Amino acid sequence: MPVITNIADLQNLARRRVPRMFYQYADSGSWTEQTYRANEQDFARIRLNQKVAVNLETRSLASTMLGAPVSMPLAFSPVGMCGMQCADGEIKAARAANAFGVPFSLSTMSICSIEDLATETGKPFWFQLYVMRDQEFSDRLIERARAAKCSALIVTLDLQLLAQRHNDLKNDLTAPPRLTVKNLINLSTKWRWGMGMLGTRRHTFGNIVGHAKGVTNMNSLMEWTSDQFDLALDWEKVKAIKKKWGGKMILKGILNVEDARKAVETGADAIIVSNHGGRQLDGAVSSIEMLPQIVDAVGDKIEVLFDGGIRSGQSVLKAVALGAKGAFIGRPYLYALGAEGQRGVEKMLAFMHKELDVTMALMGHNDIQNVGRDDLIDPAKVLNPWMGPAA
């Protein structure tokens, strides 16, 4: 068994253990994957400002997100088909997040349902809503999230239609996988994954099958989802969702200043600066490139959160230094689930916490609340000029 010390190690192990279609579903972007790559690459260009001779005996990563305490400024992104990385994946990831004191977000396109998560974890979580043409179904999702005592609703705005992801087409992606010769050959080498799936009843989209009209099997599910994302979604509909929900609402998919200002007008409690992990508009700017501009424009009016390219505690620190109240992770916990299930997610969170803590300390800080833009150096000015002369 290899020694696992970071997220890259978990990713390598997941690549070996998870069926190809599901691993590549997680580890891919749309079209040329230019934006997917930029999300990580632009983080790497930002340098840290080392400071020394500071008393570091007592340190704190504690913060708040949406007014609730968190052990570090981190949350789990809503990810579709999380329960195909390993059996009952959403439940296992949520349990790890709960134990560590960070929020978990459940996707509309999850394998485990809203009710599954509420029953199996017994803790509040955030629910992510895709707005569908079927108004009755969307309204019912909101009601189900309220009944499950979800503490926030995340409305995703950047998926009114689905961008092409080449690997999903090549792999004939479905949940559960079709039993073709190609799939059977691949699945035969993933015995650990297969044994887990034999031990659960959750094999398809738990929030949809049995809840949407006429959706009872794989064929009817594929037909229903192919034409359901609401192309007519606009800011007025967003305001109506906020009114219907009545609780805390986060808008995900904000990538420019004008949209951020419009988001404030809806009465939302927070926005997530995000390009959907490079899985939608290929060629869009990286999330970290736009974060400073958006923070400067609306940061005193709404809580600004961040998503896209986080692969380490250092990435979290950079996002916080640029003004994000917290950062979301998606692929890191998918890799962790695929590698070692709940134990893998627990390891991943420990890696992130330790790296964030040590990095903060070596930059001369003992409290994450004190980190700011003067703690970063970008001498090449490869991103937007968010700071003055290099220190």
Question: Which of the residues are catalytic?
Answer: 276
CA 182 to CA 89: how far, in whole Å?
Answer: 24
Separation CA 81–CA 106 (nearest Å): 10
d(CA 36, CA 29): 5
What does the angle CA 384 – CA 388 – CA 391 come to, to the nearest 5 degrees? 120
Task: Work out the angle at residue 174's Cα, subtended by the Cα atoms of residues 98 and 233, and round it to the nearest 5 degrees.
Answer: 70
Q: CB under 8 Å, gap of 24 or more: what pairs does 171-176 form?
A: 171/20, 171/21, 171/24, 171/25, 172/21, 173/21, 173/22, 173/25, 174/218, 174/222, 175/81, 175/84, 175/111, 175/203, 175/204, 175/205, 176/84, 176/203, 176/204, 176/218
